[in-house]
Amino acid sequence: MAMDCIGSSDAFKLGILGSIVRRSLDAPRRSVLAHPRTAPPDGRQLTPPPRMTVRERLREKISAAFYRHGLLCASYPVPIILFTSASILACCYPLLRLPLPGTGPVEFTTRVRDYTVPSHEPQGDLGEQPDWYRGPPVAYIQPVLVKAAVSPWDSTLVPVDVFRSPLGRVFSLLEEIRNHVHDDGSGIRSLEALCLQVTDLLPGLRRMQRVLPEHGCLLVSPGNYWQNQRELFDSDPDLLKTVHQHEPKGLHTSATLRDLLFGVPVKHTGVSLYSRKRVVTYTITMVLGSYDARFLSSLRARLRQLHPSVNCSLREDHMVHVHFKEEIGMAELIPLVTTYIILFAYIYFSTRKIDMVKSKWGLALAAVVTVLSSLLMSVGLCTLFGLTPTLNGGEIFPYLVVVIGLENVLVLTKSVVSTPVDLEVKLRIAQGLSNESWSIMKNMATELCIILIGYFTLVPAIQEFCLFAVVGLVSDFFLQMFFFTTVLSIDIRRMELADLNRRLPAEAGMPLPKPGPLRPREAPPPPRPSPHTITLQTPAFRNLRLPKRLRVVYFLARTRLAQRFIMVGTVIWIGILAYTDPAGLRTYLAAQVSEQSPLGDGGAGGLPPHLGVAPVFPGPGGDPVGTLSVLPAPAEPTPLPENQSQGHHGAPGEGVPLVPQISWGAEDEEGWRRLSFRHWPSLFSYYNITLAKRYISILPVIPITLHLSPREAIETRHPQDTRHPPPPSLKTNDLPADLTLYKVAALGLAAGVLLVLLLFCLYRVLCSRNYGQNGVAHGRRRRGDLPCDDYGYSPPISEISPLLLCGHSMDIECLASDGMLLASCCLAGQIRVWDTQTGDCLTVIPKHGLRRSSSSGCWEQRDGWDAVGVAEPENLGGGTEPGGGVFDEGEGYPLRRRTTPRPALFENQPDLTPLIDTNFDSQPPSHLLLTPPRDGFDFGGLVEKAYLEHEPPSPGLTASYPSPLSGPPPQRRRSLGYIQPPAPQGQETPDWESAVWAMELRGNLIAAGRSNGKLELWDAVEGSLRCSNEDGVSGITALAFLNNRIVAARLDGSLDFFTVDINKPLGLLQYRGPPGRSNMPPSPCYSSEDVISCQLTRSVQCAHQKPITVLRAAAGRVVTGSQDHTVRVYRLEDSCCLFTLQGHSGGITAIYIDQTMVLASGGQDGAICLWDVLTGSRVSHVYGHRGDVTSLVCTTSCVISSGLDDLICIWDRSTGIKLYSIQQEVGCGASLGVISESLLVTGGQGCVSFWDLNFGDLLQTVYLGQSSDGQGVRQLVVLNNAAIVCDFGSELSLVYVPSVLEKLD
């Protein structure tokens, strides 16, 4: 099949790049996925077989089209993204014409003279008419602005007189207005007929019931405070109190009752004891339901006639229509907010499912962008074709998103991600796309059908919704196909690149990955003169360990994105405010400016009075003469005010200085502008009339000037009015008036300070404290938490210097330690005992004199290693070993192989080559060509051994074992010059023939298990063989030495329990007292004469069906893990099997148990299980690795695992959630140890690295040798005294961690 060709050629290409080939062999699912159900790779398959139904043919065609489309998208990502962006922008362009969102009212001014009620039908030609200007308004507002003053002011008057008598005149004015009747032959019109009739106030407004009118004309004035009854007013002892008692408590920004009744802002009313200007201003507001020009003009003329305003120059020929936007109140907001919360939850739960991609956040963002811009496109397109949206966008938006959905995007991602990883990116995209094409198309068709059904409900709102949804769906599909697919391909490619960069060793010529965005300030460490350099690793390496959320936070903090967003948002908001001008800000500013500048004042106030007089009279009505002529009789009986005002009219002319000047300025022309923009909506809302999306018309104001004589003021005085003291001083006069302003300012300032503090705290939390310095600070990091950290204390260079323990001639095979002593065994079979404090070599076993030719042993081991090398043919290069080829031919070799190459095993032993060559010469060829029959030669045993000691065996290798393993491992070959070594102890004969497969050290006894099943006990200090047991014949694969018991696991799956008996108790612990500082170790507690015997107490023959791979003992328990997928727990005392733990779906490769009875196991399936040893129940079960779990360590809070995928994962122990993972170098994943609760040490290529477990920070890297590309550290043992020992080729390296020592003290 063509697909296979592509696959293999692709793999070949990758193989050239190096060490990737195995990935093509890696995935077991490849066998499934290489033949995708619906992935026609080329046109050949497009021709359907004749038996196909229409549906299948359609399906084929769709998937073929998707396949090609996927190829296209992945091949030309940049042009396609550009094209998509351009089309999004083009489709959104019509949106520019839509009004900006904002709640400010919009105005439109027409002339009064030829005003007609606008019709409902839109008229095309009226260009400047806004589209809301249709139909009659909700109401016409006719304000009557009254300015009244007592003049001349004389000193006998008390402050209350300033407003009592002027306010008292409101009642006669109201009377006048109510009784005004206009009769022009066509009928008698009165206010009752024209005004807006209101019914009940809304329930819940009981306290307003006495003040606001009900069941009648909506006519509001200050008289409403006293129910429009003069008697109540006259008997009111304290007018100000009456006014104030209706004010809401606290700060109130929207329209208050006082504003509503007075019709002017509070500080302009002059109703105050401290008024300086002594002019009282208020408005009588008439709300008219219908417009009658004649009535209004007659009323205007009548009022003017009664109370002429001489210097009034107000323009009266314009009426203003004010359109109000949708009101969004708290109550409306609650359901809206709920829907948005649901929407976000939906988006969250959806995008959470995106997995296995390079950047989860990026893809989630792309998904959201896809949906949002498809919505925008939908609105834009609908607008383009003349459909104006009438629905509230904010309300239907969440539902649109939910209808369109994110599902397709997720399905796409999932499908693409699950394609085989070894394919080329564009093939992956194409395959993933075509796999899901059918379901995508089906879903889309279903949704379109549902929406079409909705369209035929014939409800306009639903129809509009459906229309938007259809266009949105189609544009969403378009964006998915072009935008999201392309982004996905870019993401996948990035992942591939990152993968390549990570996988390839640096010397392969690949460019190093760029330093991640996180730590740009980290300079690479300067080269150090010391051969043992301690350096931080390169930033690229360090980048991989932080949790993602932290990285995002750091990114935000570093780029100060949040700050910038806030700034930009504020600027935009202010701009929008200034643009839409909701609160009349511009007018207010203009008024302020004109008030303050004398020039503006003179220009505005000086000129118009003279000019303005003339147009006043002919101005208003259509026929002023007619109106005047039909002035009705009832106006006559009120001559008094007319006379009075006439009489006082002359007063200002006489130049009396105390006369308050009543002036009419431009600001009075539209006095309502100074009110809150919520003034009218709140007035109407009291009667359950909404102004949202409707408009009102405000008629030109009728000015009335009232001059009252002091006598009248005194007459109307209430007896209690004189109690008020005169104003103390003029200085403080303006203070109370502006108090609200100060309050607002103070509150604003406080809020601002609070905000700044809050932001500062946030900044401190998010950002690095030492901004310019090295390293990244962690907000969560506590002081003293770490032994050494990035920026605080880092130990001096000289303190961590590895101590090299030289002596072995070959690579180290086994390591064992009890804290004080360290035993190591090399491939040559030589055991050396070291003092861990000083690093001195105490003993060499066998002693030099006794050694026979180690070359044969070496040769034996060598073969074993070669066999390992064979497992990775790509690493073998030339395939120098004939044995390797033979091994490869073994049948039953599974498709699945080890996923991790271990080039270090082979490449790092160049010095062995001559040895091998010599041995080749000395060997007969028949021994070289190892072509064993299946039962003849247990080659797998060697491999097994190698794996056991270094890494757990891989499934591929173990599967190739000959099934009957019970037979004794036959001698591999005759040892040529084999000399029976003299037994100095006399009683035992050390066996040099077979290799040491397992070694344990307790006290000064070394237990060594050999490949021929022999268990030997050596004296660690004297180097003498104390006893030997040859009960078993199968090779000992693992040993556990606890107290006086030794447990040996054998290759055939049996488990042997030995007891070590001495004639006097074994003083195991006494040796630990004085550490040997000299070369001469203190003598052991048992004398050399003591007879030590090792007896097999119990042998569990079939402990496991398959070879035991791991054996651990602690806390009186022995735990074994085997190839047969089970873990068994034995009691040490009586060798009783307590539990058989099942749960893994692969062989057990790693087990951890410690004194606290924590048992963790890892298997070849990549799973890690935590068990409760007391009950045998599984506590948690996580899948962590792609490939075997190679080692496991637990701390009290977390579990650390490493796998064949070179990943070290840190899990939370209680919840089983992965905290983070550390990418290791190739082949070095297996060696790790925990020094303290928060310090992890891992082995690398010629170095060991220390990590902070809490944060995943690399603390230090200690290089073991001079060349950085040394051998990989395969074994690592943590000693009690906070030192670590690791193998380094043929040497051992002892690294002290001094800071940890301090911590432990």
Partner 1 sequence: QSTVRSGSGQTDPSRGPYIAVITNRSTTLVIRGFMLFSIGVFLALVLNLLQVQRNVTLFPPDVISSIFSSAWWVPPCCGTASAIIGLLYPCIDCRLGEPHKFKREWSSVMRCVAVFVGINHASAKVDFANNVQLSLTLAALSIGLWWTFDRSRSGFGLGVVIALLATLSTQLLVYNGVFQYTSPDFLYIRSWLPCIFFAGVITMGNIGRQLALYECKLMSEKTHQD
Residue 1178 binds partner 1, judged by CB under 8 A: yes
In the complex, least distance from residue 1127 CB atom to partner 1, rounded to whole angstroms: 13
- Only one residue has tokens 């000959």, namely 962
Q: Which of 116, 169, 170 is nearest to 285 (CA)?
A: 170
Q: How far is CA 798 from CA 133, 536, 538, 636, 1262, in A?
A: 85, 15, 21, 113, 11
Please enumerate, as own/partner, the contacts of 449-453 that have beta carbons within 8 Å and a separation of 24 or more.
451/403
Contacts of partner 1 in 198-217 (CB under 8 A): 202, 204-205
Q: 972: which 2 tokens?
A: 């591999």
Query: Which is closer to partner 1, CB of 340 or CB of 478?
Result: 340
Residue 341 binds partner 1, judged by CB under 8 A: yes
Backbone angles phi, psi at 1148, to 5 degrees: -80, 135
Q: Pick from 6, 273, 343, 928 the residue near partner 1 by CB under 8 A.
A: 343
Query: Which is closer to partner 1, CB of 677 or CB of 992?
Result: 677
Q: What distance in Å separates the CA atoms of residue 771 and residue 1113, rounded to the nearest whole number? A: 49
In the complex, least distance from residue 551 CB atom to partner 1, rounded to whole angstroms: 21
Span near partner 1 by CB under 8 A; candidates 172-180, 276-284, 521-529, 1177-1185 = 1177-1185
Query: Which is closer to partner 1, CB of 406 or CB of 1276?
Result: 406
In the complex, least distance from residue 328 CB atom to partner 1, rounded to whole angstroms: 10
Q: What torsion do the CA atoms of 38, 43, 47, 53 make, to the nearest 10 degrees?
A: 30
In the complex, least distance from residue 848 CB atom to partner 1, rounded to whole angstroms: 56
Residue 327 binds partner 1, judged by CB under 8 A: yes
Say how many C-beta atoms besides its own lie within 10 A of residue 1238's C-beta.
Answer: 20
Residue 712 binds partner 1, judged by CB under 8 A: no
Span near partner 1 by CB under 8 A; candidates 712-720, 954-962, 986-994, 1176-1184 = 1176-1184
Residue 1187 binds partner 1, judged by CB under 8 A: no
In the complex, least distance from residue 339 CB atom to partner 1, rounded to whole angstroms: 6
Q: 3-class DSSP state for residue 1283? A: strand
Q: E-assigned strands of 836-958?
A: 841-845
Q: 3-class DSSP state for residue 849? A: helix
In the complex, least distance from residue 353 CB atom to partner 1, rounded to whole angstroms: 7
Q: What distance in Å separates the CA atoms of residue 1107 and residue 653, rounded to the nearest whole number? A: 123
Query: Which is closer to partner 1, CB of 329 or CB of 526?
Result: 329
Which residues, at least 6 apart from 461, have a Cβ–Cβ distance to it below 8 Å?
A: 391
Residue 685 binds partner 1, judged by CB under 8 A: yes
Q: Please name the residue ranges forming H helices in 456-560.
A: 460-479, 485-503, 539-542, 548-559
- Measure the CA angle with vertex 1177, ends 1214 and 1136; round to 5°: 130
Query: Which is closer to partner 1, CB of 235 or CB of 1142?
Result: 1142
| Chain center to CA of 796 | 38
Residue 692 binds partner 1, judged by CB under 8 A: yes
Q: Pick from 1069, 1136, 1217, 1304 the residue near partner 1 by CB under 8 A.
A: 1217
Query: Which is closer to partner 1, CB of 329 or CB of 914?
Result: 329
Span near partner 1 by CB under 8 A; candidates 137-145, 328-336, 528-536, 713-721 = 328-336
Q: Pick from 387, 510, 689, 886 the residue near partner 1 by CB under 8 A.
A: 689
Query: Which is closer to partner 1, CB of 875 or CB of 1126?
Result: 1126
Q: Pick from 245, 931, 1095, 1215 the residue near partner 1 by CB under 8 A.
A: 1215
In the complex, least distance from residue 399 CB atom to partner 1, rounded to whole angstroms: 4
In the complex, least distance from residue 1294 CB atom to partner 1, rounded to whole angstroms: 43
In the complex, least distance from residue 369 CB atom to partner 1, rounded to whole angstroms: 18
In the complex, least distance from residue 457 CB atom to partner 1, rounded to whole angstroms: 5
Amino acid sitting at position 578: A
Cis peptide before 152 (omega within 30 of 0): yes
Q: How far is CA 195 from CA 142, 169, 185, 287, 288, in A?
A: 10, 22, 20, 6, 4
Is there a contact between 204 and 138 (Cβ–Cβ < 8 Å)?
no
Residue 453 binds partner 1, judged by CB under 8 A: yes
Backbone angles phi, psi at 1248, to 5 degrees: -125, 145
- Any idea what DSSP says for residue 79? H
Is there a contact between 1007 and 999 (Cβ–Cβ < 8 Å)?
yes
Residue 335 binds partner 1, judged by CB under 8 A: yes
Residue 462 binds partner 1, judged by CB under 8 A: yes
Cis peptide before 846 (omega within 30 of 0): yes
Query: Which is closer to partner 1, CB of 51 or CB of 206?
Result: 206
Span near partner 1 by CB under 8 A; candidates 84-92, 123-131, 447-455, 1057-1065 = 447-455
Q: Pick from 31, 197, 688, 1088 the residue near partner 1 by CB under 8 A.
A: 688
Residue 690 binds partner 1, judged by CB under 8 A: yes
Span near partner 1 by CB under 8 A; candidates 96-104, 176-184, 294-302, 685-693 = 685-693
First-last CA distance in the chain: 67
Q: Pick from 123, 254, 971, 1079 the residue near partner 1 by CB under 8 A.
A: 254
Backbone angles phi, psi at 753, to 5 degrees: -60, -45
Residue 103 binds partner 1, judged by CB under 8 A: no
Q: Pick from 242, 501, 682, 1093 the residue near partner 1 by CB under 8 A.
A: 682
Span near partner 1 by CB under 8 A; candidates 107-115, 323-331, 489-497, 1067-1075 = 323-331
In the complex, least distance from residue 1217 CB atom to partner 1, rounded to whole angstroms: 8
Q: Pick from 15, 582, 1143, 1298 the residue near partner 1 by CB under 8 A.
A: 1143
Q: Pick from 118, 263, 681, 953 the residue near partner 1 by CB under 8 A.
A: 681
Backbone angles phi, psi at 1045, to 5 degrees: -120, 145
In the complex, least distance from residue 455 CB atom to partner 1, rounded to whole angstroms: 12
Backbone dihedral region of 252: left (phi > 0), alpha (psi from -120 to 50 degrees) or beta? beta
Backbone dihedral region of 276: left (phi > 0), alpha (psi from -120 to 50 degrees) or beta? alpha
Q: 3-class DSSP state for residue 103? A: coil
Residue 348 binds partner 1, judged by CB under 8 A: yes
Backbone angles phi, psi at 1269, to 5 degrees: -95, 45
Span near partner 1 by CB under 8 A; candidates 123-131, 298-306, 455-463, 543-551 = 455-463
Query: Which is closer to partner 1, CB of 253 or CB of 774?
Result: 253
Determine the size of the site formed for partner 1 (CB under 8 A): 53
Q: Pick from 342, 561, 614, 658 the residue near partner 1 by CB under 8 A.
A: 342
Residue 1224 binds partner 1, judged by CB under 8 A: no
> Cα dihedral sign for 206, 210, 211, 215?
positive
Residue 574 binds partner 1, judged by CB under 8 A: no
Contacts of partner 1 in 390-409 (CB under 8 A): 395, 398-399, 402-403, 405-407
Q: E-assigned strands of 1030-1125?
A: 1036-1042, 1045-1050, 1055-1062, 1092-1100, 1108-1114, 1117-1122
Q: 1061: which 2 tokens?
A: 């008996």
Span near partner 1 by CB under 8 A; candidates 290-298, 446-454, 723-731, 783-791 = 446-454
DSSP labels for 1104-1146? Answer: -SS-EEEEEEETTEEEEEETTSEEEEEETTT--EEEEEE--SS
Which residues, at least 6 apart from 1250, have a Cβ–Cβ distance to it below 8 Å?
A: 1235, 1239, 1240, 1241, 1258, 1259, 1260, 1261, 1262, 1297
Number of helices (H) and strands (E), helices first, in the chain? 41, 44
Kindly list the residues in this chain that would bind partner 1 in the complex (CB under 8 A): 202, 204-205, 254, 327, 329-332, 334-335, 338-339, 341-343, 345-346, 348-350, 352-353, 395, 398-399, 402-403, 405-407, 450, 453-454, 457-459, 461-462, 681-682, 685-686, 688-690, 692, 1143, 1177-1178, 1181, 1215, 1217
